[in-house]
Amino acid sequence: MVAARLIDIVKVENELGEGVIWDAPGAAVWWTDIEGSILYRYCPQDKQLDQWATPERLGSFALVANSDNLMCGFASGFAYYNPATGAIQWLSKTEQANPGTRLNDGRADRQGRFWAGSMVESGEQGAGALYCLDHRLQVSSQIGGLSISNGLCWSPDSKLMYHTDTPSRRIHRYDFDTATGAITNQSLLVRTEKGCFPDGATVDAEGYIWSAQWAASRVVRYSPEGEIDFILPLQVSQPTCAAFGGPALNRLFVTSAYQGLNAEARKTEPEAGNLFIFETDAKGIADPLFQPR
């Protein structure tokens, strides 16, 4: 059993905070407000907060090796993006031919590929997919039939991949081929309770999965066998994503959203949409970089 203590709240009031990652060289945490089309960077040591308007809604991203660019999953597809200059280089507009969808949750794997999945905003449920952008900047669809792709993360040895289609309330486990990025042998790891929708997730150094659960006011730590080990209660109903960071990788950063909350609900959740920082006695794993060849 682990413990967590709230040490900071970054008051950004995001409509849909998401995509949080830790930048170890920069000693900063990055995340996006998807609906606000804003990218954030926060340095906990000096409490410096920077933000940039993005050219499209930004669902997820990764830092890029030896570059000032980010590898981004924008609403309509994959692109390199430089926050400082605003320069953008489109690589694949995956969602242009898929009306009613946009890219959502994603991250780099430890071999340097970038993964992002789409979600259905209008039209046919199950029209979304999970994509992999490889080292040669080629995009392939890995899982189809999704409605809200989320919760992408890998075991410490990268031999297992975890993923959820949020409305299904199921977190699935896959065998992961580190050499090729192929995923096989889908199995059910967790089925959450009614009203608890698994959203973004991360894995700690012990291989436990930390799942932010939309509408449930909590982050849940699951064992590699899918058993609940620890529940971190939150003062907001819609946590969206989690990442470990800080100098010792023992701080948990949790994004949240006020999307869909009416005026009365927002009065009862004044911190909705803010970034929460917890100190834990668990240790995370450094977020990997996208590595093109």
Give me the sign of the Cα torsion angle 54, 278, 274, 166.
positive
pLDDT digits (tens, 9 = 90+) for 8-51: 999 999 999 999 999 999 999 999 999 999 999 999 999 999 99
In a domain, 289, yes or no: no
Q: What CATH number should be reported for the domain holding residue 21?
A: 2.120.10.30
Q: What is the pLDDT at residue 97?
A: 85
In a domain, 269, yes or no: yes
Beta bridge partners of 244: 252
Residue whose C-alpha is closest to residue 199's, from 187, 186, 212: 212
In a domain, 286, yes or no: no
Q: What is the pLDDT at residue 41?
A: 98
In a domain, 25, yes or no: yes
- Its pTM stands at 0.98
Task: Give how many domains the chain has, as a whole number.
Answer: 1
Average model confidence (pLDDT) for the chain? Answer: 97
In a domain, 291, yes or no: no
In a domain, 293, yes or no: no
Helix (H), strand (E) at residue 131 = strand 128-133
In a domain, 292, yes or no: no
In a domain, 59, yes or no: yes
Q: What is the pLDDT at residue 71?
A: 98
| Positions in the chain short of pLDDT 70 | none
> Exposure of 6 by Cβ count < 10 A (0-12 exposed, 13-18 middle, 19+ buried)?
middle
Q: What is the pLDDT at residue 146?
A: 98
Q: Which domain holds residue 212?
A: 4-280
